[in-house]
Structure 1
Amino acid sequence: MKKIIIAIDGFSSCGKSTMAKDLAREVGYIYIDTGAMYRAVTLYCIEHNLFNADGTIREEELKTQMQDIHISFRLDAETQRPVTYLNGADVENRIRTMEVSSRVSPVATLGFVREALVRQQQEMGKDKGIVMDGRDIGTVVFPDAELKIFVTASAEIRARRRYDELKAKGEEASFEEILHNVEERDRIDQNREVSPLRKADDAVLLDNSNMTIAEQKEWLKRQFDKAVHV
């Protein structure tokens, strides 16, 4: 069976990462979470005081330090899930906090950050057999991907999912704050100058607002089977 590239794009908190991980595991592909890469750069900025008091980034400082930011993924032997590493350190939990979520969009709008990470992503996909999710995979990173999926759901449903996820981890969370964060990220993602979030013309649309995980998995597997047998 031929190997393909699967590009999954869509809005924040749509469950893209979960579905991409599950699909990759089911078909024996490598999963790459590009959102985690931008979150890792954001965490680096927080830990190296590269945010100004008004929330903007010290761009020139970050630009000179991008060559020192190395992001990789390793499979957790116990969970069989990929774990994000920043310069050799496991940052999987730290990049999922609200502090990082609320600051990632300004980082992701920077052209030099996107260029650096897109280069890394394209290198990861040169042998195909990958599932990659993000905001611009089917439009910028892999415009020739054999299977492109664009995921959406209502902002309220996405905020509720994120709220439930944080509460399940025992973290304090405000639904209103999360909803505002989701809506603000949508606005920034769709209106940024560099690689704005949009559905590729040849992407298959998936609105998972009212789908169960099982229904989603079944739908994705059907799309995969169609794509590899073309």
Structure 2
Amino acid sequence: MPIDLKPYRKINGNVLKIIACITMLIDHIGAAIIIPVNQAGLIPDHETFEKIKTIYKACRWIGRSAFPIFCFLLVEGFIHTKSRLRYALSLLCFALLSELPYDYAFDTGSDQCNVMWTLFIAFITLWGMEFIKKWVEDKKLPTVLFYMLSGILMIPAILLAEYIHCDYRGYGIALVIIFYFLRPFDYVNLIAGFLFISLMPNESHAFPAFILMAFYSGLQGRKLGKLKYLFYAYYPVHLTILYLIRYALCN
């Protein structure tokens, strides 16, 4: 007899966002602070390399939970938003604002793009798929045509993500689409998403995120109004702060 988790689904969208932001911060502390400080030889002599390596790995493993949650919530936001245009413009705006903080925080140069670009490309792809779905339904065409055309639409989106080297690249676009297509099937979307992202090195450590998403209530939580943009701003702001800390430590 299958286990019914519906009575226990108490985690709303706002709580998931906060968890994703916290785990992302922990991940970025490892990538933007621990590694550069260690490379600069600023770790105290009494701290062993193995200990620092363990702390670094712990930070990165915890941080693996952030991206799947953001992808999951992007699909929920796409379905429920009152204005997809405003949503898309918000993602684009903060992708642009985050690029320099991202480059400086991780010392990537200009050959990589931040994760907001991944989410923006994925959102536009979903929008295109919704347009195809409506067109197929209005014309009373076979449903299989929707899946075929959506599959074709995925290709340039994934290629673009690979070309600009945005975070998670084509895997990120594909994960969002998996969540979108399988959204009507409870838990199947999460299982498929986890199995897919586990194809990437170390991403199986995102397993706790999928457990948390299994307890998602389907509700956004308290309406935040314009305060919702704080979640967008958190990304470039925390990257800027991490860069300033690293600069102060390592000059």
- TM-score with structure 1 setting the length: 0.32
Point out the structure with the larger helix share. Answer: 2
Point out the structure with the larger strand share. Answer: 1
